[in-house]
Structure 1
Amino acid sequence: MTSLAGRTADAAVARTSGSGELRLGAGTTFGARLSPDGRWIALDLLGVLWVMPASGGQARRLTSDLFDIAQPDWSPDSSQLVFQSYRDGVFNLWTVRPDGSGLRQLTTGPFDHREPRWSPDGRTIVFSGDASGSYAIYTYDVGGGRVDVLADGYGEEYEPAWSPDGNRVAFVVANTRIDVVDRTTGGRSTHITVPAGQVIHQPEWTPDGTDLVHHLTYDGRCDLMIRNTPLVDDEETFPFRVSWLDRERFLYTANGEIHVRSLGGEGTKTIGFSAAVTTRKPTYTKRRSDFESTRPRPVRGIGSPVLSPDGEQVAFRALNDIYVMKIGRAPQALTRDHWWKCDPAWSPDGKQLAYSTDRGGTLDIWIRNLDTGQDRQLTDLGSRAAVSAAWSPSGKELAFLDQDGAVWTVDVASGAVRRVFTATFEPGKPTWSPDGETIALAAVKPYSARFREGLSQILLINRATGQGRYVEAVAGRSIQTRGDDGPVWSPDGTRMTFAVASVLYTVDVAKDGTPTGEPRQITDEVTDAPSWSGDSKKLLYLNNGRLRLVSANGGRPRTVTVPLTWTAVRPPARTVVHAGRMWDGVRREIRCGVDIVVEGHRITAVEPHAEGRAGKRIDARDRLVMPGLIDMHHHREMQGYAYGDRQGRLWLSLGVTTTRSPGSPAYHMVEEREATRSGARIAPRYFGTGEAVDGPRIYYNFMRPTFSDAQLKLELEHAESLEYDLMKCYVRLPVVWHKRVAAFAQGIGIPVTSHYHYPAMAFGGDGMEHTGATNRFGYSRTVTPLGTAHSDVTDLFVASDMARTPTLFNSTTLYREDTSLVEDRRVQTLNPPWRMAALRESAEAAGRTDQRARRENLEAQVRQALEIFRRGGRVVLGTDAPIDHAAVSLHMNLRAMVTYGFTPYEALVTATSLAGETLGDDLGRIAPGMYADLAVVDGDPLTDIKDAANVEQVLVSGTAHTVDSLMQPFSAMSAAGSRKPDGNTVLAPVPDHPANKKFWWHGHEYVEKAQHACCSG
């Protein structure tokens, strides 16, 4: 990477080619295991199994990048290593000899098998696995392959360790205690318990078998402990087992190195190592987006289509409206207004159409009488949204979801609402049994409480009892997405339909929704959003941007033509922005007295101010004009339903003119992109992907669980057909498929990103999301629990030029000193009440609780990003909004960066010119030929980063918006949640949901609800 000015002076689209070997002498969150004969050390650095001499030196690779291994352990005779590998999309146990020969797989899926430990006599391997619905401790007979349960209690049990005599096994229980099982008697006892908030990992017996050493994370520390006494408390130790050299000396990893100490504490010895890896820079040419062409383009963003009961019409969401189309004729827009609309639903008689819109202030359900054309507002909840409506078979009620995923019903005549089931995490659209007694929807069922991933199954809710139970759609498989992919009950009540593995199935069901037969595959092409005809004989669905009809019994589908097009918005022919001061996004200095001449979408000249220029004039003579900000990581449709029309306006009002989403419901992403580019919706410029490609287990509703090579081919066809702007590989996708997705994406000119830096860097990946991020191991290899990274991380990012998007969640700690944005009128007006309440609670928590550990973690993360940036690496700003707060979080990220080392100039570059270059389009700079995305601000952000939020006006692709015009539709409405549910609202008691349980992420416990607090996507 050259200087910033040099890089951005001529934004080339073609990426620089090149690859090279890099020798690493440090590691981040890696384990080391000494062989029993004392000759060798095994490492799991970067997911590769390495062996090196015990005295130190060059490490020799035993496994390829595709094996994605962790936590090796030696056989007692030092002749073999056992390790966990994610090669096949599930964690399994493998063995290999230390010379790399004899590679052998011991276990197979679908359940995870982790943390193998060889018994002292060499006959048994103990490990943890989740086959029982929670993590438990198992034994594997090395001679015969038999697996038996050793310990399976009520809590999550994992990370086992043998006593030296082989008679006892210690293991961690639910992060806060170590239990011991006596294999001879079966007795079980607790060795140590720590308070909630402290996290235990990786027990290891002392050589005499009298005690246990373990790792403890607490109060911003990572120490090695023996009971309650620290063994190592002056380093950041990594959460892996120690190895004993003798009765006194032990080997462990800390501060990026391999260390040896003794129980007597005579000092620390470092064992050096060197491991060679290869990085490859991408060699493809990025596809450019067409923001300017005025040619009509076919609408591909067809959201939530539903077939009318008579099978003659289709209702769907597109171009910021609800359309009704008689098959064979042109679709007709329902409202033609600027408000957000979603989730059309036909009444059983086909005379009414329900949908959600925020024209009343927040997203509520409205009903259109299709005969009279009259609308009426059905719900008026104020403090919550009402979306995903579904009519009861009688037509007297609607079921719907709120913004948290709770299930409600509303009486169509009176408007009385009642909550019938507690919130689940991002559930699917409800569907009714014919007798109205059962409501079904897709909901995630985790495999365990230790990790959040699981399968999206059918949740059946008994309305009389309020109880829910899961049934599988297809055994061992997920419903494809939990948005519009089913289940959908047939009107005659005999079947359900749903998409699984990206094709359509039906299954016979009892009247309560229990499957009574085997699922039948109906289609063999990518299938989403199925709906039934009223006679239960036909199914409508989406296939790669087109509507298709098929017989409910299968057969050849036919395409339903949608004669609907869109064209790019036409900005004013010529606009002249008179800037008293201007920062171009590249240079360190500010220019004064400048005219920025805009013709159509682009800047055509940047010249000294001159009176009398032709064109629309924007007077910023007393202000600074800078490039609009770019948020490189958000999920615009993930909770866009809850924000509605507010979300795009909020971003713009705070100067954000471009956003990029690395994961969204695919058709809603395309609808958002088309609505924004056509001018039907006021929002920033948008780059997006659809559902991220994931492995067999998923968590978010906008991931596509993938089970086979054949299905992966369908997913890639889906992405190409919908013209994704990038591809996202999510956390449970095997490396071999990640590599295949990367080759496909770059082959069609779009970047690929994920939550992993290596081995993506070895096959030319474009980016990594978050500093650490959720991942399949439960810990990050790019950042420690305390926010630290070592030279393996920084060196690799610099060498590969892979883009790093930090998403600094702990920037909320700055609310302790700075609540200016929380109190800002734009933020209060343009947030829906529930998001405003959450923002206020975040600010209040920062003020009333001890934030020191989080603040230190934030500082470490920023300094890591700063080192990469100043060494020439590619750091771009992203926030994960709306999980973190939309637009507000971007400015808090900027302020955190400056607080801990970035200059204001450096921080702003990550959100302007460098981000634009990474996108590969003419964005992020003020120069002739660039898109006219500008922010007019009061102040000098290059001196005081807070001034970047003092936005008064923005231009997006040459179209201007003042802050007042953006706020105007909501200015008279309460933004602080003053409206309350009306008197018809009944908060019925509901049971806890199985998915709302405790999980552990990066060694810290959190309760996973519908709006989870950790990073996502």
Structure 2
Amino acid sequence: MRTILLAALLASAPLAAQSRDPLQEGLPLKPTRTVAFTTKVGHWMSLDVSPDGQTLVFDLLGDLYTLPMAGGKATPLTRGMGFDAQPRFSPDGKRVVYVSDRDGGYNLYQLSLDKRDTVQMTRGKTNTYESPDWTPDGKYVVVTRNMKLHLYHADGGTGQQLIREPAPLRTLGAAVSPDGRYIWYHARTGQWLYNTPLGDYDLMVYDRQTGQAATRSSRWGSAMRPTLSPDGRWMVYVTRHIDTTRLRIRDLRSGDERWLVNRVQRDDQESRATLDVYPGMSFTPDSRTLVAWWDGKLWKVPVEGNGAPQEIPFEADVSQAMGPYVEFNYPIADSATFIVKQVRDAVPSPDGARLAFTAMDRLYVMDWPNGTPRRLTTGEAGEFHPAWSPDGQSIAYTSMSARDGGHIQRVASSGGTPQRLTSLSAYYSRPTWTLDSRRLVALRSPFRAYEEAVAGGVGGGNDDIVWIPGTGGEVTVVAPAGGLGNLHFANDSSRLYAYSGQRGLVSMRFDGTDQRTHLRVTNAPAPGGQGAGPAASVITMSPLGDGEAMAQVSGDVFIVTVAQVGGTEPSVVVNAPESSFPVRKLTDIGGQFPTWSRDGRRLHWSIGNAHVVYDLAAGRQFDDSVRATRRGVPADTTRGANRPPAPTFKPFEKRILISAPRDIPQRTMVLRGARLITMKGDEVIANGDIVVRNNRIVGIGARGSVSIPSGARTIDVSGATIVPGYVDTHAHVRATFDVHREQVWSYQANLAYGVTTLRDPQTASTDVLSYEDMVMAGKVVGPRIYSTGPGVFGAGNPQGNNLTSLDQARTVLKRYSQYYDTKTIKQYQVGNREQRQWVIQAANELGLMPTTEGGLDYKMNITEAIDGYSGHEHTIPTFPLQADVIRFLAESKMVYTPTILVAYGGPWAENYWYETEDLLGNEKLKRFT
């Protein structure tokens, strides 16, 4: 078994590692259950023929098997939680090379068939590997690593990249010529493309002597997966012909081509193809027969004559070790009141004694930290972005309503009737006072930009930086915003600071001139990545102007140094082993809406309905004491050079608890006379009664058969058909961010089409928490809203984290369990197998039900089912799925939401509706969209 390692490795392994469950292999998640069944079909099976022609090796659901060439019972070569795939016999037939994630990341391994030991050829957990193949002398393996062909020696070494330019070129499916000189492969620009027009992959040949590459086939349906005969005469490849994937054969002596098989499994060129665009095929040693897989079966195909393919029957015992299935049941809340989930844009008063914020799009103030929140106005327009005047007597904010449009308002900090400061309706955001209170600066876009925004942000390149007098008046344009936002001042009102991820931290005069860039802040690049990581979402200068700034990066808050270097502005990288200038990370769980106190001594931020205050001097003193203590403590030699994580400073945190009445109708009604399609099998009641009390259905049956409470209102719905409300488990109904809608068209459209409950898996922002609050309170009409909140992303995503431990995964997921209260998460390609297992371990501990992003990655999809993830979003791209995968997924209990409209591995079904329906003429659509 592959779980038997080399004796030398075992001898040096720690006792704890030796006591692990062998099926766990090098992964952090311990298996607790097994999915076992016998199958005569398999999905996406890469195979190879042994040099003597007697044996096949193939992969099936992440394990390797051998099979006599005549067929029969397959013998497992490997077992365990690791996903093993794409095996290839060595030229002497004694070893098999394959790809596995058994240690937490993808690597190359060799399995010795006589000794049954496993040798790991490559190291690291941040690389990807696909489609290895041996050179004829057995000394080297050619494999795709991170999109590029690499050459590795069988006895060790770090390998050599063969093709570097052009950088976006992806090279896959290496097939080495019998003389060892040439490497055939298929290549495309980029990794994948939604709704591809095809023609993505070309056949290429690389010359190991000259280092030159040349194109050998370019077709509309692509040319992929070259497979060479041992005698060097034949080359078989995969291509798409109209809507069918076929095998085509080329005589390399003459260049002539013909069809070999007219229909095989649909190829995977319309996804990321992490197991290549087609499973590996192989010739028999006499070069007369091709062995390939399609339709769940193994086939022998004669390459000459008109012989039909012959099936190689097999039977395999699947026995897959599985992680614990993570599932929780949550009651639907029906209480009369609820606690508001989110406070937004909380800002302290200049003296720090009060806090202004918005909740459910209304402006509140409270004495900090022990006061009771109270509204400042009585209006019904949305209120956003509070900003204290420097004297603490007034609060400016933006308002938005369908009746009055958007404006900048000002209200006394003690409450009262607001004063409208702008005369022209527009989309205003983020007002900020000058230090002398004489002016307010803000961003402004035309009101139509807000009206026309479908979802997400507003602006569209039409935004300007403007100022108005602090008492109201005409608007003066400072400069086109050009993506800049986060307007603020340091200790001098003559220079206005602004920030964008593209331009960095910029300052300018009030006429928009003399623009200077002061700082750029980025996250560390993803492991194995090149160049800079994602830019900070916010940078704000200290109000003291003392060479420090606050930066928000991937949801965390940092203090960074703003150095004067002359020439090119400094660039600071956070979350890196080293940075050009000092960096302090202030958050562990993360935070939103970060802002300075006026005296520059504290940082404030919110998360969910909690508000956090970080005392910079106290935090610095704590960190200094920890460093001094740890300098005197030697490293724990039993842990190698590692020490336990250092303790971190805990800032002050306060929950802001606002209770709101839940919108529950208080009446009883009877819906009479409709045709009822019930959830009781295929039952249809031709003329029925439905009794509804408050917000619950309490009776349903044929007309007159249901007890009618006295005082109930009866509504005649004859001629209608009533079905149970639909639950849309994958609905991205994103409304505008930041400045929220009074009513959300996508919510109303879903209701109009019968969706009464929806779940948004990956909301891109936390605005959904406020929208959910407002739907519960009846302020926004919509279905019952559930969501995962923003996805749990990995390194390289602007909202992502490079998880380095289970503890860090627990910390990140506490955002969702303790602050967002989503009860579910979407693990959105958070990283390698180890990192994905950390996430599901943390989710299980924290009571969070995890779903996953399909990611156009069949291999990842299967491993997530193995690891116990309870949900899967979007289609598995390798279509059609065979019976073994269907049974495996069913027994894993993973819930599969294919989405269809956004298809992975094929054209989007959205296009079907454009072709078959008059969407522009549909009256219901026109009314609600």
User: Is 1:811 paired with 2:903?
Assistant: no
Which of residues 290, 293, 303 in structure 2 aligns to 1:253?
A: 293
Contact 1:753–1:766 (Cα < 8 Å) also in 2: yes
Write the distance in 2 (CA, Å) between the matches of 1:476 and 1:764: 26
TM-score w.r.t. length of structure 1? 0.66
Trace 1:686-701 onto structure 2 (pairs within 5 A).
686-698=785-797
* Distance change (3 Å), C-alpha of 1:101 and 1:19: closer
Among candidates 771, 785, 789, match of residue 881 of structure 2: 789
2:669 to 575, 593, 611: 575
**Which aligned pairs between 1:141-220 and structure 2 lie closer than 5 A?**
141-154=153-166, 155-159=168-172, 160-174=174-188, 175-195=200-220, 198-209=221-232, 212-217=235-240, 219-220=242-243
Residue 780 of structure 2 corresponds to residue 767 of structure 1: no
User: For residue 682 of structure 1, what is the aligned residue in structure 2?
Assistant: 781
Unaligned runs of 5+ in 1: 1-16, 423-427, 444-457, 773-779, 832-1017
Structure 1 residue 103: Cα displacement: 4.0
1:221 matched to 2:244? The reply is yes
In structure 2, relative to structure 1, the CA distance for the partners of 1:409 and 1:367 (3 Å cut) is same
Distance 2:383 2:51 in 1: 65
Pick closer, same or farther for the CA change 1:177–1:513 going to 2, 3 Å. same
Q: Distance in 2 between matches of 1:186 and 1:284?
A: 50
Is the Cα–Cα contact under 8 Å of residues 170 and 181 in structure 1 kept in the other structure?
Answer: yes
Task: Give the structure 2 partner of residue 112 of structure 1.
Answer: 128
Are 2:717 and 1:717 equivalent residues in the alignment? no
Q: Which residue of 2 aligns with 1:410?
A: 464
The 8 Å contact of residues 279 and 796 in structure 1, kept in 2 or not, is answered as no
1:233 aligns with 2:274: no
Distance 2:289 2:418 in 1: 82
Alpha carbons 1:313, 1:327 under 8 Å: kept: yes
Q: Specify the alignment match of 1:57 in structure 2.
A: 72
Partner residue of 2:60?
A: 45
Asked if the contact 2:668–2:713 (Cα under 8 Å) also holds between the matched residues in 1, the reply is: yes
For residue 74 of structure 1, report the CA deviation from its aligned partner. Answer: 3.0
Shift of residue 626 of structure 1? 2.1
Quick one: which amino acid aligns to residue 368 of structure 1?
Q
Does the Cα contact within 8 Å between 1:432 and 1:438 map onto a contact in 2?
yes
Of 663, 680, 699, which aligns to 1:605? 699
Q: Distance in 1 between matches of 2:307 and 2:103?
A: 45
Contact 1:663 1:688 (8 Å CA) reproduced: yes
How many angstroms apart in 2 are the aligned matches of 1:566 and 1:163?
72
- Cα 1:277–1:156, aligned 2, differ >3 Å: closer, same or farther? same
Alignment correspondent of 1:858? none
Equivalent residue number for residue 586 of structure 1: 680
Matches of 1:529 and 1:595, distance apart in 2: 51
1:904-940, CA deviations, whole angstroms, 9 ceiling, x for partnerless residues?
A: xxxxxxxxxxxxxxxxxxxxxxxxxxxxxxxxxxxxx
Taking a change above 3 Å as real, the CA distance of residues 138 and 286 of structure 1, as seen in their structure-2 partners, is closer
- Could you say if the C-alpha distance between residues 69 and 21 of structure 1 is closer, same or farther in structure 2, counting changes exceeding 3 Å? closer
2:830–2:836 Cα contact (<8 Å) kept: no
Measured after TM superposition, the shift of residue 327 of structure 1 is 2.8
Task: Please list the CA deviations of residues 315-341 of structure 1 after superposition, one character each: whole Å capped at 9, or x if unmatched.
Answer: 544324454545333334467777777
Q: SS at the partner of 2:94?
A: coil
Cα drift, residue 33 of structure 1: 2.5
Q: Residue 781 of structure 2: SS of its match in structure 1?
A: coil
Tell me what 1:508 maps to: 561
Q: How does 1:440-479 map to 2 (within 5 A)?
A: 440-441=500-501, 472-474=522-524, 476=526
Q: Which residue of 2 aligns with 1:897?
A: none
Structure with max Cα Rg: 2
Amino acid in the other structure paired with 1:249: T
Match of 1:660 among 759, 766, 771: 759
1:269 aligns with 2:310: yes
Which secondary structure state, in structure 2, belongs to the residue aligned with residue 472 of structure 1?
strand
Residue 254 (structure 1) shift: 1.5
Alpha-carbon deviation of 1:256? 1.9
Taking the aligned partners of 1:649 and 1:618, their CA distance within structure 2 comes to 23
Aligned-residue CA RMSD in angstroms? 4.5
Contact 2:505–2:517 (CA<8 Å) still a contact in 1? Answer: no
CA separation of 1:24/1:322 partners in 2, compared to 1, >3 Å: closer, same or farther?
farther
Aligned to 1:850: none
Conserved 8 A contact 1:640-1:647: no
1:519 aligns with 2:583: yes
| Residues in 2 aligned to 1:190 and 1:330: alpha-carbon distance in whole angstroms | 72
Deviations 1:175-208 (A, max 9, x none): 332332222122232222234xx44432333434
Residue 692 of structure 1 and its aligned partner are, at CA, apart by: 3.2
Q: Is the 8 A contact 1:507 1:518 kept in 2?
A: yes
Residue identity in the other structure for 2:778: G
Counterpart Cα distance in 1 of 2:487 and 2:237: 49
Q: Are the structure 2 counterparts of residues 489 and 76 from structure 1 closer, same or farther at C-alpha, using a change threshold of 3 Å?
A: farther
Contact 2:465 2:481 (C-alpha < 8 Å) held by counterparts:
no
Query: Which residue of 597, 606, 614 corresponds with 1:542?
Result: 606
1:374 corresponds to:
419
User: Aligned equivalents of 2:778 and 2:836: distance in 1?
Assistant: 36
Identity %: 22
Q: Distance in 2 between matches of 1:798 and 1:345?
A: 54
The amino acid that maps onto 1:256 is: G
Summarize the Cα distance change of 1:96–1:398 in structure 2 as closer, same or farther, 3 Å threshold: farther
How far the C-alpha of 1:671 sits from its partner, in A, is 2.8
Amino acid at match of 1:292: D
Judge conservation of contact 1:314–1:326 (CA < 8 Å) in 2: yes
One-letter code of the match for 2:281?
Answer: V
Post-superposition shift, 1:407? Answer: 5.8
Partner of 1:300: 341
Query: Is 1:398–1:410's contact at 8 Å kept on the other side of the alignment?
Result: yes
Give me the whole-angstrom Cα distance separating, in 2, the residues matched to 1:142 and 1:670.
54
CA distance in structure 1 between the aligned counterparts of 2:428 and 2:311, rounded to whole angstroms: 59
CA positional deviation for 1:714? 1.0
Task: Name the residue aligned to 2:82.
Answer: 67
Q: Which moved more, 1:731-740 or 1:400-409?
A: 400-409
Which segment is superposed worse, 82-91 or 27-36?
A: 82-91
Q: Distance in 2 between matches of 1:590 and 1:109?
A: 56
Alpha carbons of structure 1 residues 68 and 508: separation in structure 2 relative to 1, 3 Å = farther
**Aligned to 2:718, what secondary structure does the other structure show?**
strand
Q: 1:121 to 1:431 in 2, by over 3 A?
A: farther
What do residues 488-537 of structure 1 show as CA deviations (whole Å, max 9, x unaligned)?
A: 55453844545568754332245746224143222344444433334443
Please give the alpha-carbon distance, in whole angstroms, between the structure 2 residues aligned to 1:242 and 1:520. Answer: 54
Which structure 2 residue ranges, 5 or more long, are not aligned?
A: 1-31, 189-199, 251-256, 268-277, 468-474, 573-579, 620-648, 855-859, 902-907
8 Å CA contact 2:264, 2:295 repeated in 1: yes
Determine the C-alpha separation between the residues in 1 that align with 2:45 and 2:489.
Answer: 52
Q: 1:420 to 1:333 in 2, by over 3 A?
A: same
Q: Is the 8 A contact 1:65 1:759 kept in 2?
A: no
**Correspondence for 2:625:** none
Q: CA contact under 8 A between 1:498 and 1:505: conserved in structure 2?
A: yes
Secondary structure at the counterpart of residue 710 of structure 1: helix
Shift of residue 65, structure 1, vs aligned partner: 5.1
Residue 830 (structure 1) aligned with residue 928 (structure 2): yes
Q: 1:286 to 1:39 in 2, by over 3 A?
A: same
Q: 1:551 to 1:100 in 2, by over 3 A?
A: farther
Q: How many residues align?
A: 769
Q: Residues 303 and 173 of structure 1: is their aligned pair in 2 closer, same or farther, counting only changes over 3 Å?
A: farther
TM-score, structure 2 normalization: 0.72
Shift of the 316–252 alpha-carbon distance from structure 1 to 2, 3 Å rule, reads: farther
User: Are the counterparts in 1 of residues 366 and 374 from structure 2 also a CA contact under 8 Å?
Assistant: yes
For 1:585 and 1:304, locate their aligned partners in 2 and report how far apart those are by CA, in whole Å: 45
> 2: CA distance between counterparts of 1:215 and 1:44?
20
Aligned-partner SS, 2:523: coil
Shift of 1:45: 2.5
Picking from 143, 147, 151, the partner of 1:127 is 143
For each residue in 1:199-233, what CA deviation from the matched residue of structure 2 results, as whole angstroms up to 9, or x when unmatched? 44323334344664332235322222346643322
